[in-house]
Structure 1
Amino acid sequence: MDLKDQLSQLFPEHVPKESDDAPSQEKDLWIQEEPLICTYEKRKGKPTTIIEGYNGAISDFKQLAKELKTKLSVGGSFKDDKIIIQGDYRDRIMTMLKEKGFKVKRVGG
């Protein structure tokens, strides 16, 4: 007896929903022609990576910030139309953005 059988015995009037086992599709981000600018700064003595220059919707840029932070497993924030990532992750961020279809320009060292 599997879990579905046990649940159907406990809740006989429940009708399960038709669900797809396929993963949910991520919303496509708007890809722009101008490159995103990826810079490195030290703020209060700590390294930070800053991404700016996105011309699309702010919600798309926030979604991009969240994806980058989770893939890198680091902290960061979204302020003043800039993504601020804690640490020097320019190379990894640039490869991730290029895989998504963005053009990226490295500024500074």
Structure 2
Amino acid sequence: MDLKDQLKNLFPEHKETQEPAVKKSNIWLQEDPIICKYEKRKGKPITILEGYTGATSDFKILAKEIKTKLSVGGSFKDEKIIIQGDYRDKIMTMLKEKGFKVKRVGG
């Protein structure tokens, strides 16, 4: 008896629901690459994304998605996404999967 069967025994009136399909974000994709760079501020590494020419609200949504996916802190200031830590490679692969062009600067 697996876990699913045990749960059916405990909650017989519960109806199984389908998991929601992967929602596609409708963030505007630009032709120019987003610049992904690494800096150290106060001795701590940070990753900065800049160069997005779309709406500010779209860039904020993108920042939230990146922070949630990587489980890290960060902020959105002065048309830049600032992520705590050196996550250039992971962020670049995430953005490429979404269809963005990304340019790595420094290091």
Task: Look at both structures and tell me which one has the larger radius of gyration over its CA atoms.
Answer: 1
TM range (shorter): 0.7 to 0.9
> Could you tell me how far 1:27 is from its partner in structure 2?
3.3
Instruction: Specify the alignment match of 1:35 in structure 2.
Output: 33
Q: What TM-score do you get using the length of structure 1 for normalisation?
A: 0.80
What is the root-mean-square deviation of aligned Cα atoms in Å? 1.8
Structure 1 residue runs of 4+, over 2 Å off? 20-27
Percent identity of equivalent pairs: 73
CA distance in 1, matches of 2:19, 2:102: 35
Match of 1:80 in 2: 78
**Counterparts of 2:21 and 2:90, CA distance in 1:** 25
Give me the whole-angstrom Cα distance separating, in 2, the residues matched to 1:31 and 1:41.
Answer: 25
- Matching residue of 2:46: 48
| TM-score of the superposed pair, with normalisation by structure 2 | 0.81
SS at structure 2 position matched to 1:59: helix
Deviation at 1:59, TM superposition (A): 0.5
For structure 2, the residue ranges without an aligned partner over 5 or more in a row are 1-11
- Counterpart position of 1:12: none
Pairs aligned (count): 95
The separation in 2 between residues aligned to 1:88 and 1:24, in whole angstroms, is 27
Query: Partners of 1:61 and 1:33 in 2: how far apart?
Result: 15
